[in-house]
Amino acid sequence: MTQTKQQSFDSESRILQRLRSFLFENADNADLVTFDVFDNLISRTVYPPDSIKIASTDHLRKKLQVLSIVKNIDQLMDERTSFEQELRKQNQSEGNDSECRLYDVFFRWVQTYFPPDQIEAIVIELMEVEIEMECAVSTSPVGWQNLMLQMRPLFKKWIYVSDMYLPRWAIDKLLSKHNLLLFFDKGYVSSEENINKSSGRLFRRILEEEGVEPTRWIHVADRLRYDLFPAEREGAKIFWTSSLCESRTKSSIESLFRISNRTKYWDVWRFHDWCAAHYASTGPSNLAKDIGFYAIGPLLVYFILQVHKRIKEEGIKVVYFPAREGFLLETLFDLLRDISRCDEKVIASYCYLNRATTFPASAYPLSEWHRKMAFDTSYPCLDSCFRHLGMDSSVTPVVPQDFGIASLQTSLPQRHLDPRVQEIFRTEAFQDALRRAVRSERNLLLDYLRSIDFFNHDVVALVDIGWRGTVQHALNSALSDLESPFIQGFYMGFTGLDVPELTSPESIEGVCFDARLGCSGNFAVGRFLELFEMVCQGYHPTILSLCKESNVNVVTPHFRDVSSGIWHRERANYKVIAQLQTGILEYAQIFISLFRLRHFEDSEHLQYALDQVNRLLRYPSPGEASLLGYFFHAEDFRKDTVGFDGDAIGAFRQSVAVVRKGKRGGIWLEGLARNSGGSLLLFAVNSYRALKARGGF
């Protein structure tokens, strides 16, 4: 077992060790132990949780197509949500808590389209699809079974309690999958009882029906507000598992932030994309996490910090350039405020949601620093804005159709918005303001560049990581008609992107970083950590489906139809390979780019890095060839996309062809590790160890 895996398991074991001690100490004074189920005993490997619903929604969509009813997944998801809300309100009006059953939701949904004699059968089909998907993506932390084997004999009753719309038999099935059901005498589910834990009423019913005194009851859960506090108010002794199911993720994120002198981890919800659960029945393997978090990620952080340090030592001022969307949205906000009867809260919500399509925007109170960096939309707290509109900012998923300014006109995330907001978005006044804001982009950029004393730099290198090269494209737009184009840069990102004419590595003297996620001086770190957190956790645009643009070696996300794009039979492996492939291509390009900086021509380590990347293209192992050729057709792999010699490209093509002839699609990630000894992956790990030994971390 690798050291990083062992650390993860040890972290989980420590929580369960504390629980074991707690249960043992209280065994003589308790008869009943209740356990929360989700994010405690079991968890999902997909995010957000609502992505589970896409499989059943797609199943219904296909049935409607037979009836010549054309609906997309977004529309059907909206319908389902509205039916859920109606049922919850109805239940609450009858004196119960706001709960609803999955069967009732599907019944209300299906009866909209189908005759009465078909409804029952279709509802059962949809339930089976959704519950099978729940089982496919469920996992359980290591150690629960051993703990229960040891502790169960000490207590009279063990009961699971879940606030969930799934039926009890479905939760039994999930627990049985992980060999946990046999330890429980019974289960209570809020949707079947019509009352929930957060109100305390479900706990009171359990105590009454089981005949247990509150003082002789223990409750184990991960959520304080909705689980433990209500149980404690009813008299229970409580044990907080402290997000046991997320311990590996959190510890990994925190370790990266310690490297970059950051103090808190990102909220996970900021980095998700609306991924179809049935496109990935398993999450990223531990190997993918290890490579991303503990090898490639820290290595990139180290090098970018060295670039930053070297430039400062030579007296070159580093210019921090914020994400360009901020300029556009700030102007848009000002323009829309002038429209008669237009609520500022509505406009702020629009700006927030559209910023979220291109980079993570905070829903917390915004500081003066954020305002200066164009993160602010002149509204002090967007979270208050969402509450005013009856929306929950913490669970608002957004699906970007594109990454860039053009997307603001085409990808309004209206399916997530309050109807009042949608009504304003459709007005001519709003559309006119949007057009004026787009036209003013250039002036906004120029004004900002002047304000940060940007024009005093003779030569600036522009380095950007991302799908579309946002900073470089924005600068190119802003400065395109100046008499003397003084700015030069080198694009660093995915292979095959159509880059503007700002690529002259011979003239590079400094580096201009994209500071969209920067903090406390380490502006360069943010984008790297964002990339590798997404690679490791799986919240990446490449997950949903992929399509290859004509005549361009770039794979782009395609969100409109979950059945489109490149698709192979190895579903579980597809997601992991796509993530790691993304990371390695970025990794190779970064080293190539940094090596071309004059400051690093004498770097022995970077020379070795470049040699390894050349070797990767010239003599790839079967695993590497399959990985890199997975969705880049070898015959389209052009020399100018990476900058290597023709012999290397030819060898790469031949290796890919050999692998594809023997194995279509991809190979298991573990197979990749076995087959790539002495390869780029091993180089990443060895480099990390070497740098750590030198005190680089």
Answer yes or no: are the C-beta atoms of 240 and 224 closer than 8 Å.
Answer: yes
What pLDDT does 620 receive? 44
Q: Which amino acid is at 376?
A: D
CA distances to 65, 477, 513, 556, 662 from 485, in Å: 55, 12, 19, 31, 51
pLDDT at 526 > cutoff 60: no
Rounded-to-integer distance, Cα 109 and Cα 119, Å: 9
Is residue 537 domain-shared with residue 550, that is, in the same domain? yes
Cα–Cα dist 490/488, whole Å: 7
Is 393 domain-assigned? yes
Residues 437, 331: contact at Cβ < 8 Å? yes
Going by pLDDT thresholds of 50, 70 and 90, the confidence category of residue 174 is: very high
Q: Give the model confidence (pLDDT) of 620-661 as tens digits.
A: 444 444 444 432 333 333 332 333 333 333 433 443 343 333
Give the model's pLDDT for residue 446: 58
- Residue 612 falls inside a structural domain: yes
Going by C-alpha positions, the residue among 562, 523, 519, 527 that lies closest to residue 543 is 562
- Find the mean pLDDT for residues 687-697: 38
Which range is most confident: 314-323, 490-499, 628-637, 669-678?
Answer: 314-323
Q: Is residue 154 part of a domain?
A: yes
In a domain? residue 300 = no
Q: What's the pLDDT at 686?
A: 37
Query: What three-state secondary structure class fits 158?
Result: strand
Helix (H, G, I), strand (E, B) or coil at 35: strand
* Token representation of residue 584: 């390695």
Instruction: Indicate the pLDDT class of residue 451, thresholds 50, 70 and 90.
Output: low
Which pLDDT value is given to residue 492? 30
- Domain range for 372: 325-446
Find the range with the poorest average confidence among 235-239, 311-315, 385-389, 588-592. 385-389
- Quote the tokens at residue 130: 């959704």
Counting beta carbons within 10 angstroms of the beta carbon of residue 281, is it exposed (0 to 12), middle (13 to 18) or buried (19 or more)? middle
What average pLDDT is seen over the chain?
A: 54
17-26, 321-330, 559-568: lowest mean pLDDT where?
Answer: 559-568
Query: pTM here?
Result: 0.41
Q: Which of 86, 106, 136 is the last residue of a domain?
A: 136
As a 3-state breakdown, the chain gives helix, strand, coil percent values, each rounded to 5, of: 55, 5, 35
Most confident of 182-196, 562-576, 645-659, 675-689: 182-196
At 254-298, the pLDDT tens digits run 332 232 222 222 222 222 222 222 223 223 333 333 333 333 333
Query: Which residues have C-beta within 8 Å of that of residue 617, sequence separation ≥ 6?
Result: 642, 644, 648, 649, 651, 652
Same domain (yes/no): 62, 121: yes
Is 495 among the domain residues? no
Q: Give the strand pairing for 546-548 and 555-557.
A: antiparallel
- Residue 238 has which token pair? 């409580």
Dihedral sign for Cα 92, 97, 101, 105, please.
Answer: positive
In a domain, 188, yes or no: yes
Q: Tell me, yes or no, whether 565 and 657 share the same domain.
A: yes
313/96 Cα distance (integer angstroms): 67
First and final C-alpha spacing in the chain: 23
**pLDDT above 80 (res 75):** yes
| pLDDT for 48 | 57
Q: Are residues 641 and 538 in the same domain?
A: yes
Most confident among 36-50, 349-363, 389-403 (mean pLDDT): 36-50
pLDDT value at 44 more than 60: yes
* Claim to verify: residue 132 and residue 181 sit in the same structural domain: no
Q: Which of 399, 428, 446 is the last residue of a domain?
A: 446
**Amino acid 401: pLDDT:** 26
Specify the CATH number for the domain of residue 142.
3.40.50.1000
Residues 285, 357 within the same domain = no
Considering the domain architecture, whether residues 88 and 148 belong to the same structural domain is answered as no
- The answer to whether residue 316 scores a pLDDT higher than 90 is no
Q: How confident is the model at residue 122 (pLDDT cuts 50, 70, 90)?
A: very high
221-257, pLDDT tens digit by residue? 888 777 888 888 888 888 888 655 543 333 332 332 2
- Mean pLDDT confidence for 75-91: 88
Is residue 161 within a helix (H) or strand (E), and if so which, with residue range?
A: strand 157-162
Is the domain of 98 the same as that of 205? no
* Number of compact structural domains in the chain: 4
Q: How many CA atoms lie within 13 A of 459 on its CB side?
A: 14
Spatial neighbors of 523 by CB under 8 A, at least 6 apart, are 318, 320, 513, 515
Verify that 557 and 633 share a domain, yes or no: yes
Select the more confidently predicted residue: 510 or 111.
111
Q: If you search the block for the tokens 């350039």, which residue do you land on?
A: 321
212 falls in which pLDDT band (50, 70, 90)? very high
Handedness of CA 647, 648, 650, 651 (dihedral sign): positive
Statement to judge: residues 37 and 63 lie in one domain? no
In a domain, 456, yes or no: no
Q: Is the four-CA dihedral 437, 442, 448, 450 of positive or negative sign?
A: negative
Is 90 within the bounds of a domain?
A: yes
Does 411 share its domain with 342?
Answer: yes
Has residue 124 got a pLDDT over 50? yes
Does 217 score more than 90 pLDDT?
A: yes
Residues 271 and 131 in one domain: no
User: What confidence score (pLDDT) does residue 434 get?
Assistant: 59
Lookup result for tokens 């609450």: 92
Summarised one tens digit per residue, pLDDT across range 539-557 is: 222 222 223 333 333 333 3
Final residue in a domain of this structure, among 120, 136, 152:
136
At 625, list the tokens: 């060839």
pLDDT (0 to 100) of residue 111: 92
